[in-house]
Amino acid sequence: MSDIARARGIRRVVRATLGRAYPRIIGANRERSWLFYDTILPLLGTIAFVYVYKALGAPDRFVGYVIMGGATMAFWMNVMWNMAAQFYWDKQGGNLELYMVLPCGIVPILLGMSFGGFVGTLVRAVAIIVIGSVLFHVTYTITQLPLFLLIFGVGIIALYGLGVTFASVFLMWGREAWHMAELFMEPVFLASGFYFPVRALGFWVGMGTSIIPLTLALDAMRQLLFPESHPALLPVRVELTALVGLAVLFIFVARLSLRKMEYLARREGRLSLRF
Amino acid sequence: MATQAAAFPRNGGLRHWWRVVRVGYWLGWQIESNWTDPLLFFIYSIARPLGGVLILVFMYHVVARAGGTAMLGFFVVGAACWPFVVRGMMGTAYSLISDREHWKTLRYVYISPISLRAYLVGRALAQATSAVAAAAVTLVFGRWVLGVPMHLATINAPYTAAAFALGIAAVIALGLLVVSAAFLISSEAWRMPEGVGAALYLVCGAIFPVTVLPPILQALSRAIPLTWWLEAMRRGLLGPAVVRSLPHLADGQVLMGLALLTVLWVTAALAVFTLAERRARQLGILDRETMY
């Protein structure tokens, strides 16, 4: 019996998580073209929005807004395409059935997808910020780095919690999964204020769209980056508290939803539904 | 025998070509739309473009500079036209890639007695049709909600219609070029159309006038028919009160430039497609599945 097969309890969960994260981290290094497509493509879209602000004659800080939005977009796209819709791809490739019969269950698989996706995306997001900032001569002054990192970390946990929730819902779908992931692009970029302060949507609309963790995370990080000029939705510490609440909520909902959707998908025979 | 001959007109004839386009169109439309009910499909069709235009509107409002509705009009027409590029150009490429990798039907389509080019044009037109609702809703939203000066009396309908037809031809030509590349590449094939779309979004003046780009990108943008198409559509729909990407040219010159570039790109696309198809077949990779 191999060491892996003998693993039990938390050790098994950790090993399965790392095992699922492995292809996402190492695979990206082996297939270098992914780095190009995942870094340059979001950057091209980001640059287009930089030029919109330039055409409007906007102050330079808006360029920083857009670059941050572009980096954040990489995380959102990772969550939608490589978390939420991942089980759809796995159905096509025949992997989903394998995940379902694993002794560790599906949760470590999702944790591994999240961890691997986060590490890979972090590299790309940093590349977007560095390249974008160099191209457009943007500088940032982070006033409270530990708080900034804390907000980022909590925001990411909440975001990937949302991703697991979506993954469980998408488990039921066939082709709809692809279209739904597409549907959650521009409307979410709008609702979360990827390219402008979310306060511009109005206070109550901004509060409503704060259910998407990136809304509050972006707003709080922008407050720390542009403390004197950013029109805040809420004070930073209130946003941090709300993000912690969202993280707990989404982890809880993800767990419940995963159980429910897995049961429904098994009952309705959708786990192996390819088209 | 005679009945059969009537049902399947001579291979290579115009009637046969048109029939293949129609069948490709029908199939494309089914794939595109039958995954859900019509209402959800309509919402799905309009949500992204409308989201895109609203992002631009809010960006405009947070800056709140002078310039009136001219810039809003620029955004609205660009956002209304861009889905045709996304669907038409990228959709053509995805048609081939999904037939090859997802549905695994490309080899059967290829060995059937039809023109692959005509089939893909049909699929592209179906994709472009799915952009009509988005374009219409975006224009109506721009006119009635954002107050963009777009009035029936001032719209130059023949000019706009000519520009639109040429633009769709250019989009399909671009689609065939991207398909030609997709024939020859493997694992990046799914991402490549998106890459081309993102690059075009940046250089063709979809959401900002190309005059703000660095000179080298301006020169590049003028070689792509989409830049001229978007400019012509803006002039046709908005009249003189529009921010221009090609300010030194008159309306007629823009349309002529668009026509000329479209002819060039269609010719190039047909030639490149033929070469790429031949090369892929020689290499034995025409139906190579690489999805993992």
Contact partners, residue A273, CB within 8 Å, separation at least 6: A91, A174
Which residues on B lie below 8 Å from A92 (Cβ)?
A: 102, 291
- Strand segments, DSSP code E, in chain A are none
Q: To the nearest whole percent, how much of chain A has pLDDT over 70? A: 93
The answer, yes or no, to whether residue B5 has pLDDT greater than 60, is no
Question: pLDDT of B258-274, one tens digit each?
Answer: 999 999 999 999 999 99
Question: pLDDT of A101-116, one tens digit each?
Answer: 888 888 888 899 889 9
Overall average pLDDT of the A11-36 stretch = 81
Overall average pLDDT of the A169-189 stretch = 82
Give pLDDT, residue B2.
47
Overall average pLDDT of the B106-114 stretch = 91
Where does the pLDDT of residue B1 fall: very low under 50, low under 70, confident under 90, or very high at 90 and above?
Answer: very low
Which residues on B lie below 8 Å from A197 (Cβ)?
A: 62
Name the residue type at position B62.
Answer: V
- Chain A interface with B: residues with Cβ < 8 Å: 31, 33, 37, 40-41, 44-45, 47-49, 51-58, 62, 92-93, 174-176, 179, 182-183, 185-190, 193-197, 200-201, 275
Q: To the nearest whole percent, how much of chain B has pLDDT over 90? A: 55
Give pLDDT, residue B187.
67
Q: Do B52 and A186 touch (CB under 8 A)?
A: yes
B22 in contact with chain A, both atoms CB, cutoff 8 A: no
Q: Do B58 and A200 touch (CB under 8 A)?
A: yes
Where does the pLDDT of residue A140 fall: very low under 50, low under 70, confident under 90, or very high at 90 and above?
Answer: confident
The answer to whether B73 and B149 have CB atoms below 8 angstroms apart is yes
Q: Do B59 and A187 touch (CB under 8 A)?
A: no
Instruction: Give chain A's count of helices (H) and strands (E).
Output: 13, 0
Overall average pLDDT of the A112-129 stretch = 89
Q: What's the CA angle centered on B244, arms B242 and B250, to 5 degrees?
A: 95
Where does the pLDDT of residue B74 fall: very low under 50, low under 70, confident under 90, or very high at 90 and above?
Answer: very high
If you compute the radius of gyration of chain A from its CA atoms, what whole number of angstroms results? Answer: 19
Of residues B79 and A41, the one with the higher pLDDT is B79
Nearest CA in chain A to B43: A183
Question: pLDDT of A232-253, one tens digit each?
Answer: 999 999 999 999 999 999 999 9
Nearest to B180 by CA among B276, B261, B268: B276
Written as six digits, the tokens of A238 are 């209130």
Give pLDDT, residue B69.
64
The answer to whether A33 and B188 have CB atoms below 8 angstroms apart is yes
B187 in contact with chain A, both atoms CB, cutoff 8 A: yes
Q: Do B59 and A197 touch (CB under 8 A)?
A: no
The answer, yes or no, to whether residue B235 has pLDDT greater than 90, is yes
Which segment of A187-196, B83-92, B187-196, B197-206 scores lowest on mean pLDDT?
A: B187-196
Number of A to B CB contacts under 8 A, please give it. Answer: 114
Give pLDDT, residue B7.
53
The answer to whether B149 and B72 have CB atoms below 8 angstroms apart is no
Q: Do A62 and B207 touch (CB under 8 A)?
A: no
Q: Do A57 and B65 touch (CB under 8 A)?
A: yes
Nearest CA in chain B to A196: B59
What is the DSSP annotation of chain B? -HHHHHHSPPTTSHHHHHHHHHHHHHHHHHHHHTTS-HHHHHHHHHHHHHHHHHHHHHHHHHH--S-TTHHHHHHHHHHHHHHHHIIIIIHHHHHHHIIIIIS--HHHHHHSSS-HHHHHHHHHHHHHHTTHHHHHHHHHHHHHTS-----TTT--HHHHHHHHHHHHHHHHHHHHHHHHHHHH--TTTTTHHHHHHHHHHHHTTSSS-GGGS-HHHHHHHHTSHHHHHHHHHHHHHHTTSS--SSTTS-HHHHHHHHHHHHHHHHHHHHHHHHHHHHHHHHHT-TT-----
B58 in contact with chain A, both atoms CB, cutoff 8 A: yes
Where does the pLDDT of residue A3 fall: very low under 50, low under 70, confident under 90, or very high at 90 and above?
Answer: low
Written as six digits, the tokens of B227 are 């830049």
Q: Do B102 and A56 touch (CB under 8 A)?
A: no
Written as six digits, the tokens of B66 are 């002078």
Contact partners, residue A231, CB within 8 Å, separation at least 6: A197, A199, A200
Where does the pLDDT of residue A30 fall: very low under 50, low under 70, confident under 90, or very high at 90 and above?
Answer: confident
What is the DSSP annotation of A31-69? STHHHHHHHHHHHHHHHHHHHHHHHTT--THHHHHHHHH
Average pLDDT in chain A: 87
Where does the pLDDT of residue A169 fall: very low under 50, low under 70, confident under 90, or very high at 90 and above?
Answer: confident
Question: pLDDT of B13-54, one tens digit each?
Answer: 888 899 999 999 999 988 888 877 888 888 888 888 889 999
DSSP state of A195: S
Give pLDDT, residue A268.
78
How close B7 gets to chain A, by Cα (Å)? 31
Whole-number Å distance between alpha carbons of A22 and A24:
5
Question: pLDDT of B118-153, one tens digit each?
Answer: 999 999 899 889 889 889 999 999 999 988 888 888
The overall pTM is greater than 0.90 = no
Q: Do A37 and B55 touch (CB under 8 A)?
A: no
